[in-house]
Amino acid sequence: MRLKDTVQKEDFKIMVVDDEQGIIDSLSMFLNKYTLKGYTDPLEAIEVLKTEHYDLLILDFLMMPIHGDKVVEEIRKFNQSLYILLLTGHKDLAPPLETIKRLDIQGYCEKSSRFDQLILLVESGLKSVTQMKIIADINQQLEEANAQLKDAYYGTIESLRLAVDAKDSYTRGHSDRVSYYSVMIGKQLGLSEEDLDTLKQGALFHDVGKIGIPDAILQKPGKLTDDEYDDIKNHPSIGAKILGPAKIFEPLIPMVLHHHERYDGRGYPGGLKGEEIPYFARIVCVADSFDAMTSDRAYRPRFTVVKALEEMESCKGTQFDPEMVDAFMIAMKNNKEQVIKDIGLEY
C-alpha cells in the first residue's frame, strides 16, 4: 500500500522555508494532506525549530539574510535527525556535494513550476522518517529490555554478595566499605564518573566468590592450615566464574579476579607484578586491605586507623602500588571527618 494512500494529515509536520511566499503557497496546495507551515524568514524558522517538532524541512538555498547551508549549520547544532530537502533555483547554484554530505542534507532538487520531483522526494523522505521512527522505537524497547536484564543480573549477584556477608558476622558490611574506600581513592586519582561507577560496582562484588568457600573456613577463629588457605585463595577465581557468563559484568571481572595480587608479584591467583595488575584491582587491593585491618576478625581484634595507615605505608612497593597508597593517604586526610561519620572509624 502506498504511503500517500495511508498517511493522515496529522501524521507528519512539514516546514517550508523560502523567501518567496509564492513558493510556500504553492507547496501548501500540493502538499495539503500534510500539516505544513511556511516561513519566509530563515532566522525565525531556526528559532521555531528549537522548540517545535517537525518531521521534514523543505529549505530554499539562496535566501537573505543567510543562505540555506548556513541555516542547516545552525539547525544541526541542536537537531541531528531532522530530514532536510534543499531547493535550488539552478543546479549550478547548489552548494558543493561535500557541504551537502557534511550537513547531512538528505536531498535537493531544482525549483520548477511543476512540483512532481519535489513531491516524490517528500514522500520518499517521509517514508524514511517513518522507518527511522520505527527503528528508534525498537532501539528504545531494546534499551529498556537490556536495562531490565541488567537489573535482574545485578539483583542476583547482589543477593550472593549479601549472602557472603551473612556467612560471617565479622566481615558484615565489608564489601560496602571497600567500595566506599575504592571510590574515595578513585576520586583522588581524578577518575571519570563512568570509571568511578565501574570501580564502585567491582569493589562491591570483589568477594562474591566467597559464596563457594565453606563456612568452617571463613569463620575459623584460629590460624588456617595450608589446605584451608589454598581454599580461601580460590575465591577470586570463583567470583570471576560467577560473573563471567554475563557480558555486563565484564569490566568488573579484573577487580574480582586480581584484588589479591601483590605489587611485588607474590600475590594470587596470577602472581602478577606491578603494572601487570589491572589498575582498578590495585585500588581495590588497598581499600580491601585497609578495611580488613580496621575490622575485627575471628582471630584478632581490629587495628587502630593510625596503625593500619602505618602498616600500609610500610608495605608500599611490596604489597601495594605506591600510587594507590599515596592517593588513599591524601583522601583519608582530606575526608577524615566524613569518613568518621560514614564508616564510624575511630582514630
Per-residue pLDDT tens over the stretch 280-319: 999 999 999 999 999 877 677 888 899 999 999 999 999 9
CA atoms within 13 Å, Cβ hemisphere of 94: 20
User: Which positions ≥6 away from 68 have C-beta within 8 Å?
Assistant: 17, 42, 59, 60, 61, 62, 86, 87, 95
User: Does 322 have pLDDT greater than 80?
Assistant: yes
pLDDT category at 3 given cuts 50, 70, 90 is very low
Is the pLDDT confidence value at 173 over 60?
yes
pLDDT at 90 over 70: no
Q: What is the CATH class of 3-139?
A: alpha beta
What is the CB neighbour count within 10 angstroms for residue 264?
13
Query: Poorest-confidence range of 45-59, 142-156, 264-278?
Result: 142-156
| pLDDT at residue 171 tops 60 | yes
With 0-12 / 13-18 / 19 or more C-beta atoms within 10 angstroms meaning exposed / middle / buried, residue 330 is: middle
Whether 70 sits among the annotated catalytic residues: the reply is no
Contacts of 128 (CB under 8 A, 6+ apart): 83, 106
Give domain 168-343's CATH number out of 2.10.25.10, 1.10.3210.10, 3.30.9.60, 3.30.1360.30: 1.10.3210.10
Determine the pLDDT at residue 5.
44
pLDDT: which is higher, 32 or 93:
32
Would you state the pLDDT for residue 63? 86
Report pLDDT for 92.
Answer: 64
The pLDDT confidence band at residue 185, using thresholds 50, 70 and 90, is very high
The mean pLDDT of the chain is: 87
- Reported confidence tier of residue 6, pLDDT bands at 50, 70, 90: very low
Please give the Cα distance from 103 to 98 (Å, whole number).
9
Residue 182 confidence (pLDDT) above 80: yes
Q: Is the pLDDT of residue 1 over 50?
A: no
Please check the confidence at residue 31 and state whether its pLDDT lies above 80: yes
Sequence spans of domains, the chain: 3-139, 168-343
Strands, DSSP E only, in the chain? 13-17, 35-39, 56-60, 83-88, 107-110
State the cell numbers at 294. 580496621
Residue 11 in grid coordinates: 501524521
pLDDT for 94 beyond 80:
no
Q: Tell me how far apart the alpha carbons of residues 68 and 134 are, in angstroms, rounded to a whole number.
A: 29
At residue 58, φ and ψ (nearest 5 deg) are: -105, 120
Q: Which of 4, 77, 127, 210 is catalytic?
A: 210
**CA torsion sign, 303 to 306 to 308 to 314?**
negative
Q: Name the pTM for this structure.
A: 0.62
150, pLDDT greater than 90? no
Size of the chain, expressed as the number of residues it contains: 347
Res 82 pLDDT > 50:
yes
pLDDT: is 109 or 212 the higher one?
212
**Where is pLDDT greater, at 187 or 221?**
187
